[in-house]
Structure formats: C-alpha cells, structure tokens
Amino acid sequence: MIPVPATTRQSSRWQVLWREAIRDPLALLSAVNLPELASRLSPTAAAQFPLRVPQGYVARMRAGDPADPLLRQVLPLDDEDHLAPGFSLDAVGDAQAKGATGVIHKYDGRALLIATGSCAIHCRYCFRRHFPYAEETAASGGWASAIDFLKSDPSIGEVILSGGDPLSISTPKLAELSDALRALPQIRRLRIHTRLPIVLPERIDSEFLQWAAELRWPVVMVVHANHANEIDESVREACAALRAEGVHLLNQAVLMRGVNDSAEALTALSEALFAAGVLPYYLHQLDRVQGTAHFEVPDFEAKALMAELQAVLPGYLVPKLVREIAGEASKTPL
C-alpha cells in the first residue's frame, strides 16, 4: 500500500461539489435546455469574469426559460459589452479604503476582511468582478497583517468576514483566524457575509457547524439570496442547522432588472427567507460597475417597489433599501 502523506487532507464533500461547478457557458445552456441563447453569449465578458455556477444551483433554474431569474444572475450575455456612462471599475471606492492587506475599514467600529478572492458562483452584477482581490486577501500569511491592523485600532469591535466568499476557504483556515482573534479583547461580534449557504448549502457541514458553535462571540451571518427560487429544501436545512447553533441569519439582496424588480418577486423573497429562518436586512441598489447597466433599476422605481412591500408585508420582512456611496460613513438609505 502507498502511504498517504500526513499533510494530504481528504476533500470535504462541499469541496468536491465546488470543483464540479459548471464553468462552460455552453454546458450551462445545454443543462437548462436553451442552446439558442449561444448566439447571445459574450466571449469578452466570459473572459474577464468567467462563468462559475454549482450544479445544485443550476438545478433550481427553470429549464427552457431564457428569463429565468437565477440564470440571468450568472450567464455572461452580450448586454455586458455595453459601456454605459457612469459605470466604472471601482464604483464603491475600495481602492482608497484599504487599511492593510485584505482589510477594508470604511465604517466606525467595523472592519471588513477580504478573506479570499474566490467564490463558488460568479454573479454578473458583482462589483468584485474588476478587483485583483486574489492578491489582496487577509488569509494569506496566516491572517497576520489583518490581526495587526485590528490591534492598532481598539475601536473596532466587529470583524466582518467578506470576500470573495469567506466560506470558500476551509474550516481549519477559518479556525486559524478565530484562534488569533481570541487574543483581542475588543472583539464583540463576528459577522460573516456569504452566499454559500444559498448557492452551495453543502458547505454548512458538521465540521463548520462545530466551529461556529465553539466561537466565543455572537455570530451574525448575512447570506445573499436575490430571488425566492434560490431557496430550496437544501438551503432551508443549512439555515436551520446554523440557527440551531445560535447563528443570527440575515439576508442582503441586490435589486435587479429582470431578476427581482417586482413587488411580487420581492414579497416572495421575504416570505421564502422567513420560512428558512432568515430576516431581510438590506436591498442594495446596484453598484454602478462596468458591464452591469442592464440590471439597473432607477431610484424612483425602487422606492415605489418599497412602498408596495410596506403595504403588504410586516415591517420586519421589509428590507432597507440602500446604496453604497464612496466616502460615506455608512450605507445610504434611499
């Protein structure tokens, strides 16, 4: 028998599913039975920010529907080639706000760690599509520069793990961070911004749940679903398991033309989130990032949608409509 080196850790099931993600636009079109959309693909957009989508997420798309709200979020179409005025490469001012390698400190009391540049899914509307975050991660170097940054500013009581998707790194690597944070008495909360419980819910495995259960701070997890169809039984199970460990679950969504720009879609999203044990937190106006103009919903329309939501939903199921404006001290309510 060939001895297995001690350093070879067997892949978790979620890591296998991660690697099996669909990356070829034609393979995706074939999986959803829409070969005729091939002529509308953009090779430029696909080269700049490649397609990536887990098979379990593809299974939630409606086959044969070119307007499917999940498909629209991931398919690199020629709409992206349109260069609209006002849509830039750094729409939210991240290039100026970097505090240390992989740390963005824009708001009082909270520091955001770019844990990693990678994601299980590539969302076409994402402002990170233009960022060289792969070289700017907080996890590289054993989190040391991020910890030094936090030490230098005791006013930071909340650490936000973001990315990329922070749950794309392994649980042992997350444990290195939580171990290092224990030495900082200022930390009162740990927040995790992640889309993985929605797009690859298998990530919430027993190893992760045990890590979450043993953390010494209250944990807030802000997941990211934009449409009710993203929330299926596998997502509800992952959310229930997180809640059983005391994790507070909130959702942030992005308002997008052709995805969720109706009162019906947004109401269904809030209801589906609540049924999964998640409360809506933010509804973001799109960051004006190059290649995303076709998703934009004007502010007057966004506000009218909010008024409709307010009329039919309990207040706690109405998300806050916000925009991120570079240089502001917080997200800006609209």
Binding site for ligand SF4 (CB under 6 A): 119, 121-123, 126, 128, 163-165, 195, 224
Q: Please choose, out of 106-114, 135-143, 149-157, 195-203, the segment that lies near ligand PLP by the rule CB under 6 A.
A: 106-114
Q: How many CB atoms lie within 10 A of CB 287?
A: 21
By a kind-dependent CB cut-off of 5 to 8 A, residue 165 interacts, out of ligand PLP, ligand SF4, none, with ligand SF4
- Give the dihedral of Cα atoms 85, 91, 95, 99; nearest 10 deg: 160
CB of 273 to ligand SF4, least distance (A): 17
Closest-CA residue to 69 (of 35, 32, 25, 39): 32
> Do 53 and 121 form a contact (C-beta atoms < 8 A)?
yes
- Give the neighbor-by-neighbor strand order of the sheet with 320-323: 98-100, 103-107, 110-114, 158-162, 189-193, 219-223, 248-254, 279-284, 320-323, 332-333
Interaction partner, residue 128 (ligand PLP, ligand SF4, none; CB < 5-8 Å by kind): ligand SF4
61 binds, among ligand PLP, ligand SF4, none (CB under 5 to 8 A by kind): none
Strand, helix or coil for residue 103: strand
Residue 32 tokens, joined: 């959803």
Residue with Cβ nearer ligand SF4 (121 or 156) = 121
Q: Give the tokens for residue 70.
A: 């999940």
Sign of CA dihedral 178, 182, 186, 188: positive
Q: Cβ 129 to ligand SF4, closest distance in Å?
A: 7
Report helix, strand and coil shares of the chain as percent, to nearest 5. 40, 15, 45
Judged by beta carbon distances under 5 to 8 A according to partner kind, the member of ligand SF4, ligand PLP, none in contact with residue 110 is ligand PLP
By beta-carbon proximity to ligand SF4, the closer residue of 34 and 199 is 199
Which residue, 80 or 287, is less far from ligand PLP as judged by CB? 287
Q: Which does 112 bind (CB under 5 to 8 A by kind): ligand PLP, ligand SF4, none?
A: ligand PLP
Contact between 318 and ligand PLP by CB under 6 A: the answer reads no
Q: Please report how close the Cβ of residue 161 comes to ligand SF4 at its closest, in angstroms.
A: 12
Tell me which residues touch ligand PLP (CB under 6 A): 104, 106-107, 110, 112, 160, 330-331
